[in-house]
A and B are shown apart, each in its own frame.
Chain A
Amino acid sequence: MRNSQPESPVTSISERLSGADPQTSITELFESMRPDLLRFAHWLARDRSLAEDIVQESLLRAWRSRDTLKDRGAARAWLLTIVRREHARLYERKRLELVSLDDALESQVPAKAADPEGDLFTLRHAIMRLPIEYREPLLLQVLGGFSTEEIARELALSSTAVLTRLFRARNKLRAFCGMSPAPDVSTSEAAP
């Protein structure tokens, strides 16, 4: 199943390249995407300074491997993939510290009342609190525009497992938004 391509909040590379100087250097191309990469990393890591480290390291890796990028139009997906893998590496190294963020997140709840976009704040908070196994595919889909199959390949999961995780991610968010969650599905999450 191929996901449709809704308007992504991340500016697409084709938009960036349209009208751009074809001689735009690869460095400029990478740098132009830094804000989007940073936002993606920030939602993954839930910490600004950690996200900056991830993006910096990712761009460094991308620069070292720049020769493998044959199609500039695929740069966005390629860079997001590098960021995700860098986060996964860091997550494995800093699992305990990242888990401890949940306590800090709890302390932010009272700020909701002062936020003019209270419902949106609640949703942002809910996304932040999603376990990484649900948050990661959701971000890849919504921010990255990846299809289910692409996410499955990236996460080394079966397509069914990805479908289940995406379903459960949204189901948890439904509950946060006051909607009645759908009955959970019982599917295998075996790797392909």
Chain B
Amino acid sequence: MSCEHSRLQIGADPEGRSAELEQHLQECEPCRQFRAETRTLDAHIRRALERPPESATPRFTASWRPWALAASVLLAMLTVLAVWLLRPSDTLAREVVAHVQQEPESWLAQQHVDAQSIDTALRGAGVKLDITSDRISYAQSCWFRDHYVPHLVVQTAEGPVTVIILRSQHVSGRRTFHEAGMSGVIVPAPQGSIAVVTRGANLTAAAAQMQQDVHWLAGAH
């Protein structure tokens, strides 16, 4: 019998006795020592098993509770902070977002609209655009806060950008907002304001470009 086989038998059953094993042990001091150690270990194992184990409650042991409580408070604070940071800046912004959501097809249009459709959308808004019609994929005149306003989607290198020209809506300053996966800004304009909404395009650049491209006509209303 080899030492390896001897230790396998001893490790599997320290009290086991076979003629072959006993003969090997007579000649092998290390294996005798191994059996003695293993028998001692086995006595400890039996003692250890005399009573049931300390029950472990998964995950929520007492030591976890303070951490779980702290994590809950932190999560609540972060949620409040996120809601505050990402809130629409005011009712106007919220209504702009709601309006865009009501016309989801506007984001999907790929082909540019003809010049006549653009004229129809701009009618009564008192503005003219420096944008060529091949960049405009959606143009509608929409009812918004008791007025018809131009609702356009302009294609940019970074994706579509929604532009709503709000001649009757004056804002005191630039207002950004983030809601429903959209980022937007309402910028003041000479005769009202312009709302720009994107889903990933560079909002600042798009808003600046629209401030340049939209020309307000004097005397219109």
Contact = CB atoms under 8 A, between A and B. Distances in A.
Interface of A: 1, 3-4, 6-7, 9, 38-39, 42-43, 46-49, 51, 97, 100-101, 103-105, 107-108, 119-120, 123-124, 127-128, 138-139, 141-143, 148, 162-164, 166-168, 170-171, 173-174, 177, 179, 182-183, 185, 187
A182 B34 contact: yes
Contacts of B13: 1, 3-4, 141, 148, 163, 166
Contacts of B59: 100, 103-104
A183 B54 contact: no
B52 A104 contact: no
Contacts of B37: 174, 179
Interface string B1-27: 000100111011111111000000000
B63 interface: yes
B53 A46 contact: yes
Contact of B11 (A39, A49, A170): A170
A150 to B, nearest CB: 12
A142 B18 contact: no
Interface of B: 4, 7-9, 11-18, 34, 37-38, 41-42, 44-59, 61, 63-64
Contacts of B51: 39
B49 A97 contact: no
26 contacts: A3-B13, A4-B13, A4-B15, A7-B46, A9-B49, A9-B50, A38-B52, A43-B52, A47-B55, A47-B58, A48-B55, A51-B52, A105-B56, A120-B47, A127-B53, A128-B53, A162-B12, A163-B12, A166-B13, A170-B14, A173-B45, A174-B37, A174-B41, A179-B41, A185-B7, A187-B8
B8 A123 contact: no
A3 B16 contact: yes
A119 B7 CA distance: 24
B11 A182 contact: yes
B6 to A, nearest CB: 10
A142 B54 contact: no
Contacts of A42: 52-53, 55
A142 B46 contact: yes
Nearest to A183: B4
Contacts of A100: 58-59
A130 B57 CA distance: 17
Contacts of B57: 47, 104
B46 A6 contact: yes
Nearest to A179: B37
Contacts of A1: 9, 13, 16, 18
Contacts of B12: 148, 162-164, 166-167, 170
A107 B58 CA distance: 10
Contacts of A163: 8-9, 12-13
Contacts of A173: 41, 45
A123 B46 CA distance: 10
B64 A107 contact: yes
Contact of B52 (A39, A97, A142, A187): A39
Contacts of A139: 49
